[in-house]
Amino acid sequence: MGNRPDELRALLDSVAKQDGDPVRVVVVGNGSPVPEVPDGVRTVELPENLGIPGGRNVGIEAFGPGGRDVDILLFLDDDGLLAHHDTAELCRRAFAADPELGIISFRIADPETGDTQRRHVPRLRAADPMRSSRVTTFLGGANAVRTKVFADAGVLPDAFFYAHEETDLAWRALDAGWMIDYRSDMVLYHPTTAPSRHAVYHRMVARNRVWLARRNLPALLVPLYLGVWMLLTLLRRPSRPALKAWFGGFREGWTTPCGPRRPMKWRTVWRLTRLGRPPVI
């Protein structure tokens, strides 16, 4: 968004310090000019804000259709910072060692305290952020993706704009036979924040949750998944304005186009279940 030039520069410096072969970098200005960047960093400035998935898709295409000019793509939020110099090399080794591995989700830690928020551990059993494991989704601003995943599963859903775009891609990748790992040793420093700081949070979360189900789940599971999430939302006792926005988004999710429907195979449902997160929650 062009409003964090100092943080962006620190991130780019942390990428430049990675061990092994140099990492090629593209910075996408999502509806804004790109601040000054180091020599060798490519920039793309979009005339309008395409949202998180739309901006990341532009970054993918900067490396050829579907990112095919490279083997691995890292996606890093501009206010993040790679904590260690070996992260890129660890990614290379992980993908080389496991041909089924399609996506790696990094651990996000607060730079001051080192703490990892539960919501940043992409599994239900999130009490121990230091435990690496197979997972069923990933963190959008701190991950690495094998570019073959985009060829098999497609890119991120542009229309989502914000919220759940990672889970949409994760489910499609798992359905195509790829696996996802959460790695606690691959760390992105990022200040502790609340997702509700975004004005559109409650509406987008609800709308995109419905779209996610409509696009990807077998018909039998759609009402189960959405019913569970409605119950969880009510149990969290959001404020009256937040609840109004949530139900408005929920209604919008049913009344607006969600994109192509490609329900996952039942064997993928079983895979998600074995990984500890059946697609009803």
Q: Are 30 and 134 part of one and the same domain?
A: yes
pLDDT digits (tens, 9 = 90+) for 168-192: 999 999 999 999 999 999 999 999 8
Confidence band for 1, pLDDT divided at 50, 70 and 90: confident
Instruction: Express as a percent the part of the chain with pLDDT over 90.
Output: 95
Domain that holds residue 256: 196-274
- Give the tokens for residue 27: 């910075």
CA angle 4, 53, 178 (to 5 degrees): 120
d(CA 117, CA 80): 15
Q: Is 232 contained in some domain? A: yes
Measured distance CA(237)–CA(167) in Å, rounded: 24
The reported pLDDT for the residue numbered 106 is: 98
Among 106-110, 194-198, 201-205, which stretch is predicted with the lowest mean pLDDT?
194-198
Report the predicted TM-score, pTM, of the whole model to 2 decimal places: 0.96
Domain limit, last residue, from 130, 161, 193:
193
Q: Looking at the 3D structure of the chain, how many domains does it have?
A: 2
Whether residues 46 and 167 share a domain: the answer is yes
Q: Based on the fold, state whether residues 120 and 249 are members of the same structural domain.
A: no
150 lies in the same domain as 93: yes
Domain annotation covers residue 250: yes
pLDDT value of position 196: 60
Same domain assignment for residues 166 and 34: yes
Whether residues 220 and 105 share a domain: the answer is no
Q: What percent of the chain has pLDDT over 70?
A: 99
Write out pLDDT tens, residues 251-278: 999 999 999 999 999 999 999 999 999 9
119 within some domain: yes
Q: Is the pLDDT of residue 18 over 70?
A: yes
Same domain, 155 and 228: no
The predicted pLDDT at position 194 comes to 76
CA pair distance 1, 49, nearest whole angstrom: 8
Average confidence score pLDDT of the chain: 96
Q: Is residue 280 part of a domain?
A: no
Residue 158 lies in a domain: yes
Supply the CATH number for residue 140's domain.
3.90.550.10
Domain boundary among 193, 211, 242: 193
Burial degree of 121 (CB within 10 A; 0-12, 13-18, 19+): buried
Cβ neighbourhood burial of 194 (10 Å; 0-12, 13-18, 19+): exposed
Q: 122-174: per-residue pLDDT in tens?
A: 999 999 999 999 999 999 999 999 999 999 999 999 999 999 999 999 999 99
CA distance 87 to 19: 8
Which of 193, 218, 246 represents a domain boundary (last residue)?
193
pLDDT 10s digits, 205-222: 999 999 999 999 999 999
- Give the list of residues 6+ apart from residue 39 with CB closer than 8 angstroms, or none: none
pLDDT, position 197:
55
Please check the confidence at residue 198 and state whether its pLDDT lies above 60: no
Q: Does residue 225 fall inside a structural domain? A: yes
Residues 189 and 202 in one domain: no
